[in-house]
């Protein structure tokens, strides 16, 4: 069933007529339920170590349990973790970023067919942030793509079943490649002290890794791949632990042992900092019904790429429409600066956005409080005619964040990123 010429039945003012499955805008608020931990969902090799380090809550990501909180509310909660990230060095369990390897004589040709940017420009032992789209131009995944060798690529995937899609694209077998998940589990070491810690652990050669560069190394005799990348906007590295089902403990304890000298703290992935950096989260800020042109990823759609990659025709048609002033989408992702009491934890709903008169027209995807700006910030979908920087809007925050009970707070469309990153465009740097 499609929603052509229909508005969303729950919030009629928000036009989602271009989506087959509209975002659920019902405002359910916090829902006190206990997560069932069972064998149906995978535990990563670091799961028990995260529990040992104090993880007290989790979510599901890529069909795996994902720790999302170590500092309890009475100890400062997520904002205590934020301070550790921006002032020191932190360790994240991000094993949910499952590693899908494409290897074989046709690896480059295959990868170049499934990503929108030019895979031939990724040199061995380097990576790129990239997107993969379906034939309608919807974003299926936005992984960091690592090229280990001429014939070997790793997709460090965000939250969708990308491996199944990649295998499906190559059925029947058109490319001579092997596509499978690896026993590789990543950790992230993020924060301004991360370089010193990592150089102390690996050696001075670590300091020579360029942004999105890779190096092979060992930690406590365990093989790892290290990249200078991350999800925070701060200086940071990702450690891809090979044979992780066997080596997880040795690598984890080596990092925590040496990290103690640097005040290392185990925290959840820094969504508060990635929002400030303008880094998107698949499933939260975009999904398979979202075009890159809606979420400021137009640079991921090159004009001159000669390969007929999946989604190319639809994306080029979308760009042609936009360039003549016709917008093929109802909503566009923007940055908002907004009022309200400090938002210091994850939002349980897509909070509603209204125009200057209060008529509902959009929704917030990723809100948080920015200590640097001393105000709340957010990523949000609004109509295209209300997406210009400086446009005045309103946001319906939950009661706990309202400055005046029952009243929306003022918001203004703002430039993104909100806060400068260690690298000018965070994950989106390197537009070649």
Dist. CA 350–CA 11, nearest whole Å = 12
CATH fold, domain 184-262, is: Gyrase A; domain 2 (3.30.1360)
Residue range 105-125: mean pLDDT, rounded: 98
Residue ranges of the annotated binding site are: 238
- On whether the CB atoms of residues 239 and 219 are closer than 8 A, the answer is yes
- What is the sign, positive or negative, of the torsion defined by CA atoms of 324, 326, 329, 332? positive
Q: Which CATH superfamily is domain 1-33+330-432 in?
A: Aminomethyltransferase beta-barrel domains (2.40.30.110)
- pTM strictly above 0.85: yes
State the pLDDT confidence band at 424, using cuts at 50, 70 and 90: low
Dist. CA 188–CA 371, nearest whole Å = 23
If you ran DSSP here, which 8-state letter would residue 419 be given?
A: S
Residues spanned by CATH 2.40.30.110 within the chain? 1-33+330-432
Residues spanned by CATH 3.30.1360.120 within the chain? 184-262
What digits encode the pLDDT tens for the residues 305-326?
999 999 999 999 999 999 999 9
What digits encode the pLDDT tens for the residues 115-124?
999 999 999 9
If you compute the radius of gyration of the chain from its CA atoms, what whole number of angstroms results?
21
Residue ranges of the annotated binding site for substrate are: 238
State the pLDDT confidence band at 8, using cuts at 50, 70 and 90: low
């Amino acid at each position: 069933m499609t929603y052509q010429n229909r508005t969303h039945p729950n919030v009629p003012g928000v036009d989602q007529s271009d989506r087959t499955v509209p975002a659920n805008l019902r405002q359910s608020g916090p829902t006190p339920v206990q997560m069932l931990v069972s064998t149906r969902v995978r535990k990563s090799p670091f799961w028990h170590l995260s529990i040992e380090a104090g993880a007290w809550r989790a979510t599901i990501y890529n069909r795996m349990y994902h720790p999302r909180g170590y500092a309890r509310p009475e100890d400062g909660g997520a904002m205590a973790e934020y301070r550790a990230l921006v002032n020191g060095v932190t360790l994240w369990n991000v094993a949910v970023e499952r590693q899908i390897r494409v290897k074989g004589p046709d690896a480059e040709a295959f990868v170049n067919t499934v990503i929108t940017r030019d895979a031939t420009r990724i040199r061995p032992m380097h990576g790129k942030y990239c997107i993969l789209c379906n034939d309608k131009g919807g974003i299926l995944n936005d992984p960091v793509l690592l090229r280990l060798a001429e014939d070997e690529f790793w997709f460090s995937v965000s939250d969708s079943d990308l491996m199944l899609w990649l295998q499906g694209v190559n059925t029947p077998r058109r490319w001579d490649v092997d596509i499978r998940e690896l026993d590789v589990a990543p950790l992230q070491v993020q924060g301004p002290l991360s370089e010193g810690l990592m150089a102390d652990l690996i050696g001075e050669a670590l300091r020579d890794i360029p942004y999105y560069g890779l190096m092979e190394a060992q930690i406590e005799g365990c093989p790892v791949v290290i990249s200078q990348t991350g999800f925070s906007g701060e200086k940071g590295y990702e450690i891809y632990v090979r044979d992780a089902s066997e080596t997880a403990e040795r690598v984890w304890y080596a990092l925590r042992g040496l990290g103690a000298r640097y005040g290392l703290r185990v925290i959840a992935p820094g969504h508060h900092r990635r929002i400030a950096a303008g880094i998107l989260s698949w499933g939260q800020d975009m999904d398979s019904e979202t075009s890159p042109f809606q979420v400021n990823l137009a640079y991921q759609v090159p004009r001159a790429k000669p390969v007929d990659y999946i989604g190319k025709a639809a994306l080029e048609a979308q760009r042609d429409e936009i360039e003549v002033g016709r917008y093929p989408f109802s909503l566009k992702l923007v940055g908002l600066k907004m009022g309200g009491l400090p938002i210091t934890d994850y939002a349980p709903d897509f909070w509603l956005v209204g125009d200057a008169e209060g008529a509902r027209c959009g929704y917030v995807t990723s809100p948080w409080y920015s200590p640097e700006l001393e105000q709340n910030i957010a990523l949000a979908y609004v109509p295209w005619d209300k997406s210009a920087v400086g446009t005045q809007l309103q946001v319906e925050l939950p009661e706990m964040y309202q400055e005046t009970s029952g009243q929306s707070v003022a918001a203004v469309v703002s430039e993104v990123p909100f806060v400068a990153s260690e690298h000018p465009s965070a994950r989106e740097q390197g537009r070649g």
